[in-house]
Amino acid sequence: MFDTSHFHPMIVHFPVALILLGFFADTISVFFNNKNRCLSKIGFYLMILGTLGAITGYFTGEYFTEELTGTAHELKEEHELYSKVTMYVMIAASIIRLYANFAGKEKGFLKWFIYLLYAIGAVAVGYTGFLGGSLVYNFMII
What is the arithmetic mean of pLDDT over 126-139? 94
- Give the confidence band of 28 by pLDDT, cuts at 50, 70, 90: very high
The total number of structural domains that make up the chain: 1
Q: How confident is the model at residue 13 (pLDDT cuts 50, 70, 90)?
A: very high
pLDDT grade for 104, boundaries at 50, 70 and 90: confident
Write down the pLDDT at residue 1. 59
pLDDT at 36: 72
pLDDT at residue 137, as a whole number: 93
Q: Which value, in Å, is the radius of gyration of the alpha carbons in the chain?
A: 17
Q: Which of 2, 3, 6, 20 is nearest to 90 (CA)?
A: 20
Q: How far is the C-alpha of 79 from the C-alpha of 125, rounded, in Å?
A: 10
Q: How confident is the model at residue 128 (pLDDT cuts 50, 70, 90)?
A: very high
Report whether pLDDT(142) > 80: no
**pTM of the full structure:** 0.93
The interaxial angle of helices 70-103 and 13-32, nearest 10 deg, is 40
Q: So what's the pLDDT on residue 58?
A: 96
Q: State which residues form the domain around 69.
A: 4-139
Taking only the tens place, the pLDDT of each residue in 39-76 is 889 999 999 999 999 999 999 999 988 889 999 999 99
Task: Return the number of other C-beta atoms located less than 10 Å from residue 114's C-beta.
Answer: 24
* Residues 106-125, mean pLDDT to the nearest whole number: 94
Distances (CA, A) of 121 to 8, 13, 49, 64: 19, 15, 13, 23
Q: Say how far apart CA 107 and CA 121 lie, in whole Å.
A: 20
Q: CA 111 → CA 46, 82, 92, 125, distances in Å?
A: 16, 24, 13, 21
